[in-house]
Structure 1
Amino acid sequence: MKLMIFRAFWGMTGSTAEQIDRIAAAGYDGVEGAPPDPSEMPRAEFLDRLRQHNLALILGAQVDSREQIEPVLMRLAEYGPLKIDLHSGRDAMSRDEGCAYFEEALRVERSIGIPVAHETHRGRLFFSPWDTAYYLRAFESLKIVADYSHWVNVCERLPFDQTDAMDLANNRAIHVHGRVGYEEGPQVPDPAAPEYTEHLAWHEQQWQSIRGFRQQAGDEVFTFTPEYGPPRYLHTLPYTDVPVADLWQVCLWAANRARHTLA
C-alpha cells in the first residue's frame, strides 16, 4: 500500500498557483482544502496545474445542515477529487437530527461515487469518541477523517479509556489529519518537542492502527495530511502575536516523520 502525503492549503499565503508550486517543490503527493474561488483560478486551470505537478486532490467543506449536503457535494464532485472531507453538522444537534444528516450524506455519496468522510472535529457531530461511536454503529458505511487532536482536547486527556470507540473509529477512518493535540488544545506548538513525546506516541499509535485497517481492506493508497494550522491555532507570544514555531517547517517535519513511521 502506497503512502500519499498531502499538504493543506490552510495557513499558506500567496496565490493558489504559487501555493501549488511550493507544495510540489517540497515533495508532497497532493493538496487538500477548499477549491479556489473561480474568479481567481477557474476549475479547469486549477486541475490542469495539479496535473502538471502530478498532485492528487482531496477537497473539504463545512456543511452545517442537512439541506446543504447535496449542493456542496455535487459542486465538489465536479473537481473529481480522490476523497471529500466534511466538517459535518453541529455538536448541538439531537441524535435524530444527526441520523437524518448522515442518511442524506450517505445517499448523496452513493450518487457521486466519491468517498466522503466526516471529520472528527470540535463543534461538529463527531466532536467526541463516544458520539462518533454511536453514529458509526448506526451506519455501517459511514467513514471518518481521523483528526484525533480534537478528541484529546475535548476529553482533556489522552483517551486511553476509550479503547472500543477508538478501535471502531480507526476501522472506519479513510484519511488522517496528522496533527498532535494535547489536553488543553488541538495543536501542540511543535510535535518534535520532547515535552510532547507521549502525545506524539499516542497519535502515531492510532495512525498506524488506521493504516493496518486500510491495508486489510485492500486499499491501494493510505492518505495522510500533516494539517497544522496557522496562528492562532499555532501558539503565539503575548502582546506581539509572534508565532512560537514556523508552520511550514512543522508540517514538513510531520510529513517526513510520517514517511518513516507509516510507509
Structure 2
Amino acid sequence: MIKFFAPAWGNTLPFDRFCENVKAAGYNGVEIAVPFDVADKNTILESLDKHGLALIGQYFQSFETDLDEHARNYEKYLRHLSAAKPLFINCQTGKDFFTFEQNRRLFEVADRISGETGVKIIHETHRGKSLFAAHITRDYLQKLPNLRLALDISHWCAVHESMLENQDDAVKLAIRHTDHIHSRVGHPEGPQVSDPRAPEWAPFLEAHLTWWDQVVATHREAKTGLTVTTEFGPAPYLHTLPYTQMPVASQWDVNVFMLNLLKNRYSVG
C-alpha cells in the first residue's frame, strides 16, 4: 500500500487550516519537523489527530561541524521526534565533509534510539549530508546493509550534474533500500524543476517516474508499505522572477499535481 504525505515545508497558513486542505486534497498525512515549543507541538499533533492525518517526523538540523556536539543534538532531536509517535522519522543525517566513521557514529545513534523507542528511523539522500551522492551512498549501503533510505534522487541529479546515466548500479542499490520517496523532480543544474507540468521538463519527470516505478515494484513484490511525500519546496527551490521575486508556479498546486499523478499511475484510490 502507498500512502501520500504533504510537506509542511513552505506552509504559511495556520496549521489547522493547512491540515484541512491536506485532507481535502487526498493526502494521508504530513511530514514535518516537530517543534520543541510545547504549545506549538500540541497544535500540530492535535490538528493532525483532528483531521485523521498521520505524522512523519522530519530531522534536517544537522548543522554542527563538531562531531560530539552534532551527535548530542542529533540524539536530542530524534528522541523529541520519537516522543511524538510518528509513523517513522526521516533524517538528513550527517555531513558531506564528515568521514565514513564519523557519519557511521550518527547512524549508530539512530539505530540505538530506534531500538529503544520502537520508532523506525530512515535516512535521506540529500545534498550536504552523509548520503549526498550516488557513489557515496553505495559505499555506505555496502558497508551498512541495514540502512533504509528516504530517496530524494533529485539531489543526486544536481550533485552529479547528470541524470545518473553512469550511476546505474548505485541507483539500483539505493532503490532496493528505499522505504520512502520525496517526489521532487530534479535536473542536472538543480534539485527542482520550475514546474513539472511544463512540457520542457517532461524528460526529467519521466526519468524520475522510471526510478519511482522501480521502488513501487520492489515494495509490491515484497508486499511492504511505501510512503511518498510530494516535496516540491518553496523559494529558493521554487524558481522566482528576478527583481519582483514572484514565484513562477504555486508550490501547493505543483505538489497536488504530483499527488494526483502518482495516485493515478499506481492505481491508489
Interval of TM-score (by shorter of Structure 1 and Structure 2)? over 0.9
Change (3 A) 1:109 1:39: closer
Matched, 1:207 2:205: no
> Which one of 220, 225, 229 corresponds to residue 229 of structure 2?
225
Moved more, 12-21 or 197-206: 12-21
Matched, 1:191 2:190: no
Q: Which residue of 2 aligns with 1:62?
A: 60
> Which one of 62, 78, 85 corresponds to residue 83 of structure 2?
78
Q: Which residue of 1 aligns with 2:16?
A: 17
Q: Which residue of 2 aligns with 1:53?
A: 51
Identical positions, percent:
36
CA distance in 2, matches of 1:16, 1:41: 10
CA distance in 1, matches of 2:149, 2:88: 11
Matched, 1:8 2:7: yes
> Which one of 112, 116, 123 corresponds to residue 121 of structure 2?
116
Q: Which residue of 2 aligns with 1:149?
A: 154
CA distance in 2, matches of 1:226, 1:101: 27
**Residue identity in the other structure for 1:229:** G
> Which one of 87, 93, 100 corresponds to residue 95 of structure 1?
100
CA distance in 2, matches of 1:68, 1:216: 38
Q: Which residue of 1 aligns with 2:261?
A: 257
Shift of 1:137: 1.0
Question: What count of residue pairs does the alignment treat as equivalent?
Answer: 260
Q: Which runs of 5+ in 2 are unaligned?
A: 63-69
Moved more, 31-40 or 58-67: 31-40
Q: CA RMSD in A?
A: 1.5
CA distance in 2, matches of 1:42, 1:138: 37
Shift of 1:49: 2.4
Q: Which residue of 1 aligns with 2:66?
A: none
**Residue identity in the other structure for 1:115:** K
> Which one of 140, 155, 163 corresponds to residue 158 of structure 1?
163
1:191-212 Cα deviation digits (max 9, x unpaired) = 1111111111111111111112
Q: Which residue of 2 aligns with 1:174?
A: 179
CA contact (8 A) 1:16 1:36 kept: no
Shift of 1:113: 1.4
Shift of 1:37: 5.2
Name the SS for the 2:40 alignment partner: coil
Q: Which residue of 2 aligns with 1:32?
A: 31
Q: Which residue of 1 aligns with 2:238?
A: 234
CA contact (8 A) 2:125 2:149 kept: yes
1:51-108 Cα deviation digits (max 9, x unpaired) = 2211111010125232323222111111111111111111001122122222222222
TM-score when scaled to structure 1? 0.94
CA distance in 2, matches of 1:69, 1:42: 18
1:202-226 Cα deviation digits (max 9, x unpaired) = 111111111122223331x321111
